[in-house]
Amino acid sequence: MNKIAVVGAGISGLSMANYLEKHKIDYHIYERRKKEDLAGHGFLIPQEGIEYLTQIIEPDLLFEHGSFLKKYIQYSHTGKILAEKDLNNVFAISRHSLINLLSRNISPEKITYEKTVIPCDRQKGSLKQPDGTYIEAEIAIISDGSRSRIRKSLFKDEKMRTVRENEVVNIIQDKEIANSIENDFMKFHHDHGGLTFGILKLSHDTILWYSQFDNEKYKVNEHSSDNLKKYMLEVFEDWHPLVSSIIQKSSYKNVHLWCVYELEELNPFHTDNIVFIGDAAHPLIPFTSQGVTSALKDSHVLTKHLVEENNITEAFKKYEAERKPEIEIHIKNGRTLLNQFLLPIDQHTDNILPISYK
């Protein structure tokens, strides 16, 4: 097989590269951003995702860089425990750590940063650089995120819609706060619904926190870091002291406001010699906690069929047939979890775990 072009050096692109490395398949990664712009915040990875990750990262090395969470605990916004559930091998890790771990097996010469790649309008199935230079590759694997420019260019009739939920995500390094909490997934809910605050302990001194809010009730008018801090302090003023303490003590240098989108209908996962993986193939809303696991499974399954099949189109078809039904389940589960999030607490069902399982 000739060289493969991988577009995007996020989790899905780097996972794909690791699987290609295992099978000694030649490839090159093209990433439009700078390397330092890929840092991000963090992830929850259920057991299935860990099983795929440990095929390409040494388990001991992986587990040094995150923490296993013991319980999911649901609180009212004032701190009353509403429900709790034991977690089975759910792992929390920062995006920065995971990117670095996935990059270890990849030679620096195989990644080009600050390189935009676009579909060629003259030669079907080919990619080119903005200056018109062709990318020489037999296959193009696209992993350029939920708002994929290449997907939009190839599937011009696709419709994306905003989801009725936005997130503010941040990381705080504070030993005192980290020491005061267990390795649990803690989530505080406003009684009236549509507003939560989640806490994930990543290490002895580092906490990932995020707020999910109904963007029809809670509107952020200006997205600067100073304004986001002010907004968070105002909205969560009367919440449990742990929440207000984390918000107050956090640096907002790298805070991120995440506006969430989804496809009204999934596109085909491939066209000609171009195939999509991860969020570029199937954006999943955050409630599923399945983004990383789905990207890993996409990479594993696609590599398996590329190795086993002589015909590229047949490999792509088998990849889509294997992955699409599961993705549709996660999309359905995500919408169910979103609808529950919007409801008052007293209307929530017993299924409290904010993770989609197939």
Note the pLDDT tens digit of each residue in 64-77: 999 999 999 999 99
The amino acid occupying position 309 is: E
First to last CA, the chain: 34
pTM for the full predicted model: 0.94
Mean pLDDT of 165-191: 95
Residue 2 has pLDDT above 70, yes or no: no
Mean pLDDT of 293-320: 97
What whole-number distance in Å separates Cα of residue 168 and Cα of residue 211? Answer: 5
Residue 279 has pLDDT above 60, yes or no: yes
Helix 291-308 to helix 312-342 angle, to the nearest 10 degrees?
170
The amino acid occupying position 314 is: E
The answer to whether 183 touches 68, Cβ cutoff 8 Å, is yes
Structure tokens at 22: 């295992």
Query: How much is the pLDDT for 35?
Result: 79
pLDDT tens per residue, range 75-122: 999 999 999 999 999 999 999 999 999 999 999 999 999 989 988 876
E-assigned strand segments in the chain: 4-7, 27-31, 42-45, 66-76, 81-94, 111-113, 118-119, 127-128, 139-142, 160-173, 185-189, 195-201, 206-213, 256-263, 270-271, 274-276
Residue 1 has pLDDT above 60, yes or no: no
